[in-house]
Structures are given as structure tokens and as C-alpha cells.
């Protein structure tokens, strides 16, 4: 499609509300990508606070779910602030996935998402996640049976293909649409790439602009700031953008992207004091929900490591923060960071998503 046609189609999409089933997401919504050990309650809350339009739980194992594993069901606990929100399930056995979808439906998500994109070895070696890209007929049949088994709208998330020689997403997207799913999210990498190299949004654009496609297409991969978000949107005209690793340690990225789309202006980066307050809020939400300060600290460590990029001479404080197991010690270190860098802003320019 010629560049001018893409431009006009993107502008048309921008003024059209996106829907999944009867859920109206407004114009060009921003989705928080589902991430294991990341998208739990406290982090979802922070992202929603800054403008994320849709949430996903951490992905849920179908086998654990049908065995009624308590920890797995806890992942599906939803809150009023979450909505609209999806429960994402994964697995390799069709019967188990259908049963899991029925259990997930009992938790009343706004939609149920199927994980066909996780590239991690422990998932893929069982044929689940992105492993399904090696058996597309089974992937399609699994999706069809799940769609037919529940009344809640069903969506899916996948990748471009298994490897460089098998970027089959254009065909897969058509076949997935025919199963009755209500939207498809695409991460612009193959399974073999994991999270290396650059996301290929060209193929995401091919799916979106395929005349046969009529369901919403959600683009995902390498959105690390407002300008990248705008670049990818203008390139593809997707119905929604999904932000994953770019939001870790930077939940206000959703606010930044929306402001840039509305005004063309880049918001100034947050002050260290503002970041510290957000870290404390996220920690306290987690501690309150779990009723366990130590567990909350462990849950936060991945975020601690991302919240303070590019601060000079920060190594020792970072190590101390990541090693602390006492709530009082963590608060003391955070206050020390705020005092040490009181006149600085946290610059996320050129921060790697790796």
C-alpha cells in the first residue's frame, strides 16, 4: 500500500473507536502487555493511573488452573480499577485450554486472551505459547474451540512466526480471525529472536492493511517512548498500541504517549522525587494486598532495577536497594536516593528495553 494511503488510513483509524465485543476502547487505546512476574495488581494500578486503557493479568497456566492451584487462581483476581481487563491463559492441550477458559470466565474478565506469543523455553518446549506457531492447525482448532466454549469475547496474542524463514503471521492472522476471535495482538519478532534485535512492524502493518482483515489489530514491540509509538502507528495504522517492557520502571509512559499524540510535545521527564513517590506507592499497594512486606519487596525488585536509569554514581545505592529485605531499609534507601538526587530528573532517553 502506498505511503499516502497508509497515512490516510491511520488518520481514519485514529478517529474511529476500537471495540472488542461490546467494549468501547475509544480512539487508539494503549494496552499494557501481559508479562509474567510483572503485571500483578500494584503495577497494573500504576499503569492505569497514568492512562493505560486495557490491562492483562500475568499469563495463567491452563494445567495449573484446572488443578485448582491456589497461586494460579490468585493471578486472576481482578479489581475495579483494572477494567477493561483480560485474563490471559496458555497451554498446549486443547481440552485443558477449553476448561481453563471456562474457569477464567467465572472471574468475569472483559475478555479472555490466549497466549500464543511467549517465547520462553520452559513454555515453548511443551508446545505452548509461541510453540504453537509450529503447529498452526492445532493453534487454529484450539482457538475455535475456546471461542465456542465461552460467551466472553476471546482475543489472542502471537508473534510473526517461529523463525526468520517462517514469518507466517499474515496467513495465521486470517485463519485466527476465521475462528471468531475479536482482536489479535502481534509482537513484531519471531520466537527465535526472543527479545533480541528490532521488532519488525512492517509485517504488523501488512496484517492490519490486509483487505481480508476486519478485527482490530494491536501492535506490540519496542515502544520505548512517545516518538516510537507515533512512528509505529503512522507506519501501520494499527487499532491499538501495546506497551510491555517499556512500561517497567516507567508506568507514566502511557501519559507521555497520549500527550505526544494530542499535542506533538514531549513531556519533561519526572523528577527523582516524583519517581520515588511512585515506587513507594507501588510497594505499599503490593504490601497491603499481600499483607506481607517482604513478599512485596521481592515482587518489586524487578521494578527497582528499572526505575532509576541514567542516574550518575548510582551503582552502590542500586545494589543496596536490590539486596534489602526490610521494608524500613527500603524506605530509608529510597529517601536517601531522593535526597542525593533532589535536583535531578530521571532521563529515559536511549534506555534499553533489554
Q: Give me the active site residues, please.
A: 118
CB 207 within 8 A of CB 200: no
| Alpha carbon distance 154, 181 (integer Å) | 5
CA–CA dist 208, 5 (Å, integer): 13
In contact, 28 and 240? CB cutoff 8 Å: yes
Helix (H, G, I), strand (E, B) or coil at 227: helix
Q: Which are the contacts of 347, defined by CB distance < 8 A and separation ≥ 6?
A: 269, 309, 310
Helix and strand counts by DSSP (H, E) for the chain: 15, 11
Q: How far apart are CA 16 and CA 267, in angstroms?
A: 26
Half-sphere exposure of 285 (CA within 13 A, CB side): 18
Task: Give CA–CA dist 134/162, Å, rounded.
Answer: 7
The residue to which cell 534506555 is assigned: 351
* CB contact at 8 A, 128 and 92: yes
Amino acid at each position: 500500500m502506498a505511503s499516502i494511503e497508509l497515512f490516510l488510513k491511520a488518520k481514519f483509524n485514529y478517529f474511529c473507536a476500537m471495540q472488542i465485543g461490546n467494549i468501547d476502547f475509544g480512539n487508539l487505546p494503549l494496552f499494557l502487555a501481559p508479562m509474567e512476574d510483572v503485571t500483578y495488581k500494584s503495577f497494573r494500578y500504576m499503569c492505569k493511573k497514568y492512562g493505560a486503557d486495557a490491562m492483562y493479568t500475568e499469563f495463567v497456566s491452563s494445567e495449573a488452573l484446572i488443578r485448582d492451584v491456589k497461586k494460579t487462581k490468585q493471578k486472576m483476581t481482578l479489581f475495579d480499577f483494572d477494567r477493561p481487563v483480560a485474563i490471559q491463559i496458555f497451554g498446549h492441550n486443547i481440552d485443558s485450554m477449553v476448561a481453563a477458559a471456562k474457569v477464567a470466565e467465572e472471574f468475569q474478565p472483559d475478555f479472555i486472551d490466549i497466549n500464543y506469543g511467549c517465547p520462553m523455553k520452559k513454555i515453548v518446549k511443551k508446545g505452548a505459547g509461541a510453540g504453537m506457531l509450529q503447529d498452526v492447525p492445532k493453534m487454529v482448532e484450539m482457538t475455535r474451540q475456546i471461542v465456542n466454549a465461552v460467551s466472553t469475547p476471546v482475543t489472542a496474542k502471537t508473534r510473526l512466526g517461529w523463525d526468520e524463514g517462517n514469518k507466517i503471521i499474515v496467513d495465521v492472522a486470517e485463519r485466527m480471525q476465521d475462528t471468531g476471535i475479536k482482536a489479535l495482538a502481534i509482537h513484531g519478532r519471531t520466537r527465535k529472536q526472543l527479545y533480541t534485535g528490532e521488532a519488525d512492524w512492517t509485517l504488523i502493518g501488512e496484517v492490519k492493511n490486509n483487505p481480508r482483515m476486519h478485527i482490530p489489530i494491536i501492535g506490540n514491540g519496542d515502544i520505548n517512548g512517545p516518538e516510537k509509538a507515533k512512528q509505529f502507528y503512522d507506519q501501520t495504522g494499527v487499532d491499538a498500541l501495546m506497551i510491555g517492557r517499556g512500561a517497567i520502571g516507567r508506568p507514566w509512559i502511557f501519559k507521555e504517549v497520549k500527550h505526544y499524540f494530542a499535542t506533538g510535545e514531549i513531556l519533561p521527564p519526572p523528577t527523582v522525587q516524583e519517581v520515588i513517590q511512585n515506587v513507594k506507592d507501588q510497594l505499599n499497594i503490593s504490601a497491603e494486598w499481600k499483607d506481607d512486606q517482604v513478599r512485596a519487596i521481592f515482587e518489586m525488585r524487578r521494578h527497582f532495577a528499572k526505575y532509576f536509569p541514567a542516574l550518575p554514581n548510582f551503582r552502590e545505592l542500586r545494589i543496596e536497594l536490590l539486596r534489602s529485605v526490610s521494608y524500613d531499609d527500603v524506605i530509608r534507601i529510597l529517601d536517601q536516593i531522593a535526597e542525593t538526587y533532589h535536583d535531578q530528573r530521571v532521563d529515559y532517553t536511549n534506555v534499553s528495553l533489554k
